[in-house]
Structure 1
Amino acid sequence: MCDRKAVIVGISGASSSGKTTLARLLRDILPNTFILHEDDFYKAESELPTRDGLLDWDCAEALSIPDMTKALSHIRGNGTFPPFVDSKEDQNSVGKCPVSDAKIAAMKSKVDEWLQPGRKGHEILKEGGLKVCLLDGFLLYSKDLQSAMDLLDIKLFLLVSRAKATQRREARDGYVTLEGFWADPPGYVDKIVWPNYAESHAWLFEDGDVEGTLSERALAETKILAQKGLGLDVDMETTFEWTVNMLIEQLEAFWEQRPAVDT
């Protein structure tokens, strides 16, 4: 028997790297799964720091880290969405799904097969009743969020080029916030979003180049998983399939290594 009610899967990467799209796709094919968004822990707009004369939504200081760790601890112990979190992020659109119906059906079929009686998925998610929380956020692997990172059981990191991230972010209408709605002012990605991402994630890359080669040492020390050797802008169909396969592998490993309690 396991005293853990949920496994927490971090999905992180730069803004517009595909985190929320991926999380929603996974939630649709995995049972016992719900999403928690890092964006639901933003401080009030009046408390946000500024950078270059602009409100800075893309730094650790904009988030209530204690509230995030409290929510993650609740999920670990109870296996339920924290009742004290008022989620706004699911109101935001991520645009047209970049994954074909055929690929979604194929991945759902793979998961369904894994969930059949006698298979590990059935033991873990059906008989064991383990819940899966997908936490998506742009800063999960920042050193400033170490307390939250320590509560993640599986860590996935999505790569994206500056050009692609800028193109995707600038195509968005804006974001639902606690106060109403936020739309990026002109040049926001170049002035705020990308510099913050680069500064916070330099430690994960050789020579600190976030468009360069990932540091094998940093990945090994933190157990962060990424699609290595495929370049920066991997299409979402490939990423979706990679993630499904990785989650099956990692959930099985977690289940085998779970701490037991006396019954």
Structure 2
Amino acid sequence: MFVLGISGVTCSGKTTLARLLKKDWVNCIHLCQDDYFLPEDSPRHVVVPHLGHNNWELITALDMDRMKTDIREVMNSSLKDGVDLLILEGFLLLNDTELSSYCDVKVYVDVPYEECRRRRFSRTYDPPDVPGYFDDVVWPESQKNRKLVLSQFPDLCVLDGSLPVNVLYKMLLEILTEKGFKKAVIH
């Protein structure tokens, strides 16, 4: 089984790319880090004092133990016999040593501030972002994570998420081919 890790800035197109792969490729499993957010009332959350809002941009906002368990289950179960591609996707995916070690290919999708802000404000979040959350928390945290990931993985493939989706998808397919992933069947 080939494991693709897709990480990057919030609203950069990570999930869109993963869903395209899942839709187009036979025998593919997609696990999304967004599915592992802790409930809003979890005591593990770190509150941003001046905003009175949980910081959802930290690894502590995620149930990483459950995500790792699910990934190990897929990788170790009989399911893997029929699975050609496992896509692990999330904004902090590569910040976790164990998860990043599973990835045969690591991709980081980046977008500039203005594009990220525009996309973020066009979405609905539950709970909703409070005023100031993007500029005070989301963007600074994403840039801190970006710097860390870029410094840790010299083989990281960085994609410009502001490009059209079809262009990004083609680039991703080329990366997978270059890295040795041979896919048998496309839907």
How does 1:185-224 map onto structure 2 within 5 Å? 185-205=130-150, 218-220=152-154, 223-224=155-156
* Match 2:41 to one of 46, 51, 58: 46
**Contact 1:8 / 1:154 at 8 angstroms: preserved in 2?**
yes
- The alpha carbon displacement at 1:232 in A equals 6.6
Runs of 5+ consecutive residues of structure 2 not aligned to the other structure? 183-187
**Which SS does the other structure have where 1:31 is aligned?**
coil
**Which stretches of structure 1, 4 residues or longer, exceed 4 Å deviation after superposition?**
none
Aligned to 1:149: 100
- The alpha carbon displacement at 1:204 in A equals 4.0
**Contact 1:79 / 1:131 at 8 angstroms: preserved in 2?**
no
C-alpha separation in 1, matches of 2:29 and 2:98? 21
Aligned to 1:169: 120
**Which SS does the other structure have where 1:20 is aligned?**
helix
- Which has the larger Rg? 1
- The alpha carbon displacement at 1:8 in A equals 2.1
Task: State the AA in 2 paired with 1:246.
Answer: I
Runs of 5+ consecutive residues of structure 1 not aligned to the other structure? 1-5, 82-127, 175-180, 206-214, 254-263
How does 1:122-137 map onto structure 2 within 5 Å? 129-137=82-90
**Contact 2:2 / 2:181 at 8 angstroms: preserved in 1?**
no
Aligned to 1:16: 11
Aligned to 2:179: 250
Task: State the AA in 2 paired with 1:30.
Answer: W
Structure 1 vs Structure 2 CA RMSD:
2.4
**Which SS does the other structure have where 1:15 is aligned?**
coil
**Which SS does the other structure have where 2:181 is aligned?**
helix
1:226 maps to 2:158: yes
**Contact 1:69 / 1:151 at 8 angstroms: preserved in 2?**
no
Aligned to 1:240: 169
- The alpha carbon displacement at 1:201 in A equals 2.3
Task: State the AA in 2 paired with 1:155.
Answer: K
C-alpha separation in 2, matches of 1:248 and 1:8? 13
C-alpha separation in 1, matches of 2:78 and 2:177? 19
C-alpha separation in 2, matches of 1:160 and 1:24? 19
**How many residues get paired?**
179
% identical aligned pairs: 26
- The alpha carbon displacement at 1:237 in A equals 2.1
- The alpha carbon displacement at 1:136 in A equals 1.4
**Which SS does the other structure have where 2:86 is aligned?**
strand
Mean Cα deviation higher: 163-172 or 67-76? 67-76
TM-score normalised to structure 1 length: 0.61
- The alpha carbon displacement at 1:252 in A equals 3.2
